[in-house]
Amino acid sequence: MLDLHKTGSLHIVPQPFIDLYPQQMRYGPGQTRKDDDEAGLPVNAAILPTSFLSSGFKRRQQSQPESVIPAKPVQTPSSPLFGYNRIQIAGRRVRYQSWDFHLTLRKETGLRVYGVYFAGHSIISEAGLDETVTSYWGYSPFMRAMTSLESMYGVGAMSSELSPGIDCPKEAVYLPVRLVLSGESGPKVLKHGICLFDWLVQPPGGPLRRHFEFPGGRSEASGGSETTEHTNFAFGTPSRALVVRSVASIFNYDYVFDIVFHASGVIEFSVTPTGYIHVDTVPPNWFSNPSNQSWYEKSAFGFVSNTMPLYFVAHQHLFHYKLDIDLRSSRNFVKVINVHGPANYPGSPVSEPPTLWMSSRIPRSELEARFHTQFEYPKQYLVCETQREEKQENP
């Protein structure tokens, strides 16, 4: 792609970076700003958005309690896509359609939800990220042993201010976050620490479920049926969902953490890594004998830069989530659904095995219930409510 761009065969329109905090950043230690006479003036201040990050000691003097913080969008919604009457917030309690839960951002683990209910039934007691690790691999012994335990620095403590229009839609609801990073620095407040917005998902802008039935009497109606009963109707449900988002800036990476509450009752946890990729210097022998190095040897541990003696290190981001599931009550059990086929299951419960069939089992220990992903052996884990048998009294 770079060679095509250099020859002029591939035209690329550069996308400029947009300032996340326009005219709101202070100069850090060692940085200088220029006055009208172009003289450099050192400024000893932390690099922080001045209008966003403020001391929590000042907020203690305010008479307004935390529970009545108004959850207002930045500006009046200009699109019918955003319906704030569907998002109701009281303190840290959020209600959205059939969903009801409590929301917080912990210093150690970041975004977290508690007491999640759907349609009046308990779903989850507690859920959120527990730890994150990035594992690297490379030519040097240092890179081969490098493992970044990012969660030890505090995912929530590394949360950065959300920028309306870039990190979240401008019409989103923004909530403040109070964090005590250390006893020396005291409490801090992120004015835009969490955002919530109503969105159309899966497929984007499409329906969650729809069906159109042609009128009876037509050849395409109900597979050619001539009956008119249960025909000539159409219905659909938009695939609306509530997106709860925070962003953590951990060293060279920025992680966008989302918890999506779908109208169907599905909860989705997702992480989108962005930022700058980790790089390392190429081995010295590449310059002494470049012709002897094959493409595999040069690209075994990451893509090599065409302009600098660097390669982009191959690595893996690992995220461990905690899900304390309380389905209607705290008495639950796990059921595993296995999918079989002639290719991955030599035996069959029937004389002539079908192309696809299923079986279920109930694990009796945590070791049996652990996730062991093999794509050639697909399976599904179900959390079921324990049915209590009522004792029947003798008449």
| Cα–Cα dist 146/150, whole Å | 12
What is the number of other CB atoms lying within 10 angstroms of the CB of residue 214?
14
Q: Where are the domains of the chain?
A: 84-205+238-326, 330-394
| Pairing between β-strand 93-96 and β-strand 87-90 as defined by DSSP bridges | antiparallel
**Closest of 334, 335, 385, 374 to residue 358, by C-alpha:** 335
- Please give the pLDDT value at position 310: 85
Q: Round to whole Å and give the CA distance between 169 and 245.
A: 11
Structural Rg of the chain based on CA atoms: 28
Q: With a cut of 70, which residues of the chain have pLDDT below it?
A: 1-5, 10-17, 23, 25-85, 202-203, 205, 216-230, 285-298, 342-354, 387-395
Q: Which pairs count as long-range contacts for 94-99, CB under 8 Å and 24+ apart, including other chains?
A: 94/196, 94/242, 94/244, 96/198, 96/242, 96/261, 97/240, 97/242, 97/263, 98/263, 98/265, 99/242, 99/261
**pLDDT score recorded for residue 352:** 58
Collapse the DSSP code of 172 into the 3-class scheme (helix H, G, I; strand E, B; otherwise coil) and give the result. coil
Assess if CATH 3.40.50.1000 describes domain 84-205+238-326: no
Q: What is the DSSP string of 113-166?
A: EEEEEETTEEEEEEEEEEEEEEEE--SSHHHHT-EE-GGGG-TTTTB----BTT
Predicted pLDDT of residue 65: 36
Q: Which residues contact 93 (CB under 8 A, 6 or more apart)?
A: 100, 101, 102, 103
What is the CA 61 to chain-centroid distance, rounded?
35
User: pLDDT at position 283, please?
Assistant: 76
Buried b (16+ CB within 10 A) or exposed e, 241-259: bbbbbbbbebeebbbbbeb
pTM as predicted: 0.72
Residue 327 is predicted with a pLDDT of 81
